[in-house]
Amino acid sequence: MIASITGTIEHVGLDRLVLRVGGVGLLVHTTPATAATHRAGTEASLATSLVVREDSLTLFGFGTAGEREMFETAQTVTGVGPRLALAILSVFSPVELAVAIGAGNITALTKVPGVGRKGAERLILELRDKVGMPSPADAAGLPTVVAHDRDQVVEALVGLGWTQKAAGDAVDKVAAADNAPTEVAALLRAALRELGR
């Protein structure tokens, strides 16, 4: 297992880096956010996970050890391979993912390309006990759209007669505001005001 690498960046792609380590250029697959923080010609250190297949050795790199651990934990879910685990971490930070899983937020999880409703339910079922809920201090800075039980508010709006899309769009708009409500009831009221415009 290659747990970390340090070297000079030779190339930065959208979702990959090439690091020169000891005269060898290593291709490292990353999230777009990790790739965007690096520049060619600079030194970089990445926490890594080596995925061994019958026909390939693929190296995945992360800005923190916590991201690497979540990447490896996500792959314990049935049907989740390294590519999908990396896609999940491209959408969520480890803390955001833990909050979404802990809250059972299926709608948030289906925003990951390749994760449908059944996949989101499987992630929640199989990871809830493994990832636990982050501490309040870790979760404090999260966007409210992840921290809230968004599904509950959307379902309430659908029950009142709005379409799933209209309800979801209204909740997302309200939750993205700077002064977004922190209580589910307040989020519902704000979404109702948004839909009434």
What does the domain layout of the chain look like in residue ranges?
4-62, 65-139, 144-195
Q: Are 183 and 138 in contact (CB under 8 A)?
A: no
Conformation bin of residue 22: beta by default, left when phi > 0, alpha when psi is -120 to 50: left
Please tell me the predicted confidence (pLDDT) of residue 153.
76
Residue 177 binned pLDDT confidence (cut-offs 50, 70, 90): confident
What is the per-residue pLDDT across 131-167, written as a single tens digit (0 to 9) for each?
A: 866 555 555 555 544 444 577 777 777 777 788 888 8
CATH class, 4-62 region:
mainly beta
Please tell me the predicted confidence (pLDDT) of residue 167.
83
Mean pLDDT of the chain: 84
- pTM value is 0.68
What is the per-residue pLDDT across 39-75, written as a single tens digit (0 to 9) for each?
A: 999 999 999 999 999 999 999 999 999 999 999 999 9
Q: Are 94 and 102 in contact (CB under 8 A)?
A: no
Question: Is the pLDDT score of 84 beyond 80?
Answer: yes
Q: Which residues pair with 49 in a beta bridge?
A: 60
| 84 half-sphere exposure, CB direction, 13 A CA radius | 18
Closest to 95 in 3D by CA, of 68, 59, 66: 66
CATH class, 144-195 region:
mainly alpha
CATH number of the 65-139 domain = 1.10.150.20
